[in-house]
Amino acid sequence: MTRENKDILSHIERLCIEKGLKMTGQRRVIARVLSQSHDHPDVEELYRRASRLDDNISVATVYRTVRLLEEKGILEKHDFGGGRARYEVTEQGTHYHLIDVDTGKVIEFEDPEHVKLVQQMAKKLGFDLLQHRLELFARRIQEK
Amino acid sequence: MTRENKDILSHIERLCIEKGLKMTGQRRVIARVLSQSHDHPDVEELYRRASRLDDNISVATVYRTVRLLEEKGILEKHDFGGGRARYEVTEQGTHYHLIDVDTGKVIEFEDPEHVKLVQQMAKKLGFDLLQHRLELFARRIQEK
DNA sequence: GTAGTTGCAAATCATTTGCGTGTCG
DNA sequence: CGACACGCAAATGATTTGCAACTAC
């Protein structure tokens, strides 16, 4: 039973402080929400989650904060279709996404072999790979 | 010196007819523009190019047409950042994009082996692959 | 104290849509 | 002729922003 204690800094809040961001109440709440989110919420969803912890937060602030954190490299923005941007906390290793087109759910997976492969691809074209993304749009196999 | 003759059907127009689309004047013009575009224009740019050939075209129609052609599989929609969707004519084999981060230029390449690989990836996760995208962000190798 | 932040509502921007008119098949 | 396409302008939906009040440092 882990206790969520407001006196304990969330992972993201720590990162914000490292980057020298001014930590307001709303940013602390949003940071906490992000730290606890292991999916790919959109702004609306983040706003909903944050409001649950503190009703003194506006969507505008969520938009502003999310943009700020993306600029700082703390968050990554994705376009998985559906019209709204979705966010996730930046992780160290490259990982890929499989989007279930029926449910919109996103499955993450890693494949270090594939990373090497892609580096080779870039090299063959005369480039050094900086980053890359691989996204699969797929439908669950039916076992009738 | 190839002649562009209005009596000759453009490649895309042919595809539209195959799909049973009603061919209006505006659709013919847009089809022609698409046939001649070997880059990744956004709607605004398509509208500009179409207007050059025929000033009797509205942006709304370009939006409608582009959506229709995407549904028919004749066009592909991309999000390369920048807020607006970009389009290209669907080619038979899946191809990938390498974006030169210094110039913004997009290099296309194919890799049929990789397509199979990705299908395997999806299968391993219990999915049938519908489509996928691989985008490399890279920098040209310096040979000083 | 002061630069940076917030909430609110109005503004933007890309894209979609309702409607009366026009046209392909 | 009848279903569908068009232009126009108004509507939409996500995201941004101006402004006056507030707060972290």
Chain A interface test: which of B96, B102, B121, B140 (most A C-beta within 10 Å): B121
Tell me if A134 and B129 make a contact (CB, 8 A cut-off).
no
How far apart (Å, rounded) are the C-alpha atoms in residues A105 and A107? 7
Q: Which nt sits closest to B24, CA to C1'? A: C24
Question: pLDDT tens, position by position, for chain A (144 residues)?
Answer: 444 555 688 899 999 999 999 999 999 999 999 999 999 999 999 999 999 999 999 999 999 999 999 999 899 998 887 789 999 999 888 899 998 887 878 899 999 899 999 999 999 999 999 889 899 989 999 876
Binding site, residues of A?
132
Tell me if B141 and A126 make a contact (CB, 8 A cut-off).
yes
Q: What is the pTM of this model?
A: 0.78
DSSP string of A53-101?
H-S---HHHHHHHHHHHHHTTSEEEE--SSSS-EEEE--SS--EEEEET
Residue B29 phi, psi (nearest 5): -65, -45
Contacts of A107 in chain B (CB under 8 A): 125
How far apart (Å, rounded) are the C-alpha atoms in residues A6 and A85? 29
